[in-house]
Amino acid sequence: MPGVLTLLSLPSELIAAILSFTDFPTLSRSVQTCSTINHIWKGHQNHICRLMCIITGLADAQTTGAGASLHKDARWAEKGLAEELDPEELRNVIEAQGWMDQHAEITSWKNYARFRYTIHRNWLIGRAHTRLLKPEMPQGARFWRFKLDSKPGFIVVSGLMGGTFAFKGDGTLAWSIGFPRTPYPHVELSNGFLPVNWFHDNYVILRRDDITPVNPVPTSLTVPPQDLASMMTRVPNEHGYQLDGFGSFEGCRATKLRYPTFLAADRYANVVFYYDIPNRMPSILHLPSFISDEHVVRYVEIDDGLIFIAGLHSITIWRLPEVVPPKEVVTLPRSARIVWPPNPPQDQLALASVLPESHYRGEQINWSAVHHDGCGRHLVATSEDSGASGLGRVLWTTDYRHVLFSGDEDLVEQKTAVLVTDDASVIQLAVENDRAVFLTAVHGMGTALWLLNLRDFDDLADFSRDPPRPICLAWPLPTTFEPSRVEMTSNEIYVPVLAHFLTPDGSAHHRQIYDAYERCRNALPPGKMPIAWRWQKLDGQTLVDYEADVADQSELQEAWDKVQRPVMEPGDQPGGADAFLVFSFDGETA
C-alpha cells in the first residue's frame, strides 16, 4: 500500500540497528525471515553483533576472583556500517571478560556474541561441563587456599604445609616461593598483586612482573633480600612475581585484597591495617565500637570507600574518609558505621516467640563470609549453623550501596532476602557478575556446590514473583574435607577436590573409592536437591519453600557413608586438596 512504512522500506543502517536490539536467538531467527534482512545480516553481521553485545551488556567488563571493583560504564565509539571495526577493541573486550583462557580462536564479533551468549544462557540454567585440573605440586603435596590471576591464566595456591605456587592452566608450575613457612596459610591476590606472609606479622607485597608500578619501586626493593631471592623459583619464559613492597600487620587474623587496597584486621578488629599498594603507604584504622559488639572477626571485605567486618552477630559496614591519611592512626566514629542485617524493629521483639527464625542482628549467627559483586549491585553474606537456631543462611541485599545507607528501615526490609536451610553450614562463598556460588556441608552427607543467579528486585512482592532458585551444581563434591575456598570467573567455577575420587590410579583402594563415589553421585535424582531451602524475609516469614524438591536424605546418607568407609586411612593428613574440579559454562564457537 502506497505511503505505508514497513521494516523493509527502512535504510539498511536502521534495519541493522533494529536487529541489534534483539538477543542472539531472536537475531538468528530474524535473519532467516526474508532475503532482504538476510542480505543485510550477511553484509554487516559483525557490526550488528557488536552493537547487540553493547546494548545487551554482553560486551561489558566482568569481575573475576574478587578483583578491583567496576563502577564505571564503558564508552563505545559509534560505528556506521561502512566503517571498519577495530580488532584491538574486540581483543580488549575479550581480555576484560576475565577468562582464564583468552580464547584466541574468537576473531570476530559474531563469534564473540555467540560464545558470550552461550555463557550467559548456561549460567541462568546451571548447565556446565566439568574437567579435572591437577597442579603439579612438589612430591604429591596438597594445597590449601588459592586465588585466580586471570590475565596470565595462573592459579596461585598456598601449600598445605607452606609455600606459594603459581600454576598454568594445564597444571604445570610457572613460579613458586618458599613461604609462608607455616601450615594452612592464607593467600590473597588481586589484579596481579600478591601479599605473602614472610615471617611473624611481616608481609611482602609481590607484583606480577608484566605490570608497570604506578610509582617507581624504591631502590632498596629492586634487589630482594638474599633469603627471599633464594626461595623464588621461576620457569623460563613464564611470568612470575617480584618484590613491590613490605608491610607489618601485627596480630592480623583476617585479610582482604581488592586492588589497590590490602586490609588486615586483628582478632578483635580494634585495629585494621589499611595498606595503599600503589603508594606503598600503611595506615591504621581504629574501630573501637566493634569490640564490645561482635567479639571476634570472622571475615573482612572492602569496596570503594567501605569496609565490611563479619562477626558473630552481624556484618559491620564502615564508611571510610574520602582520603585515608598515610602513616597515621585514624579513629572511625560510631556514626560512620551501620550494621547488616539491621537491628530488629521494636514490634519484632514481641513476635520473637512466634517467629523464632528471624535474621536480624542479635543472635550468635556466626557470619562466616561477606562479598559484593564489584559493581555496587549485590551484597551477600553467609553463616554457619552455629548458635541457637542451627540454621545456615545466605543473606542478600540488592542495590546495597543505596539501600543500606538510606536510613529507610522499610526499604532495607523490602530489598533483603534470606536463603535458609536447616542443619547445614554454608562454608564458602564467591560473588561475581550477578551470581553467587557457595558450598554447603552437612554431617553425614558431604559437601555440595550451589549457584544463585542474582537480580535486582523492587520489593519482596517483586522478588516472590520470580525468586532465584538455588541450583545444585554438584553433590557430593569429590573430597572428604570441606573445601577451603571456591573461586569464580565470568565463565568458570574452581573447587578444590581430591583427584582419586574421579581418576583411580589403578590401585584397588582408589578404584573402590571411585566406584563408591560414582554410585553416590547417581543417588541424587535429576532435578532434586540434597537439602531443603526456603527464602525468607528478615523477620523469618517464608516467601518460597523448596521442601518438595528434596531427595530422600536417608538414601543420600547411606550412599555417602559407603564413600566414606574406604576413604578413611589411618594417619591421613586432614584438609587440603590435590586437584581442582572446574565447572565451565562456555560453549563452542562457530
Alpha-carbon gap, residue 140 to 159, rounded angstroms: 11
pLDDT of residue 353: 57
Q: Is the CB of residue 353 less than 8 Å from the CB of residue 346?
A: no
In this structure, the number of other CB atoms found within 10 A of the CB of residue 90 comes to 20
Distances 468 to 152, 450, 514, 537, 560 between C-alpha atoms, Å: 34, 12, 33, 14, 28
The pTM assigned to this predicted structure is 0.94
Alpha-carbon gap, residue 94 to 104, rounded angstroms: 9
pLDDT of residue 74: 66
Under 8 Å CB-to-CB from 242, ≥6 apart: which residues? 206, 207, 209, 224
Q: Mean pLDDT in each 10-residue stretch from start to end of the chain (590 residues)?
A: 70 82 82 84 90 92 76 75 91 93 90 94 96 91 94 94 94 92 91 88 90 86 72 83 86 87 81 91 81 70 91 88 85 88 76 69 82 92 70 95 93 97 90 95 93 97 97 95 93 95 83 91 94 95 95 94 76 79 77
pLDDT of residue 118: 94
pLDDT of residue 3: 65
pLDDT of residue 570: 53
Greatest alpha-carbon span in the chain: 88
pLDDT of residue 428: 93
Q: Is the CB of residue 367 less than 8 Å from the CB of residue 381?
A: yes
Give the Cα-Cα-Cα angle 241, 246, 247 (nearest 5 degrees): 130
Alpha-carbon gap, residue 210 to 356, rounded angstroms: 55
**Distance, C-alpha 196 to centroid of its chain:** 21
- Which residues partner with 398 through β-bridges? 378
Q: Is the CB of residue 184 less than 8 Å from the CB of residue 197?
A: no
Euclidean distance between the first and the last CA atom of the chain, given in angstroms as a whole number: 41
pLDDT of residue 590: 36
Q: Is the CB of residue 183 less than 8 Å from the CB of residue 195?
A: no
pLDDT of residue 212: 92
Q: Is the CB of residue 439 less than 8 Å from the CB of residue 486?
A: yes
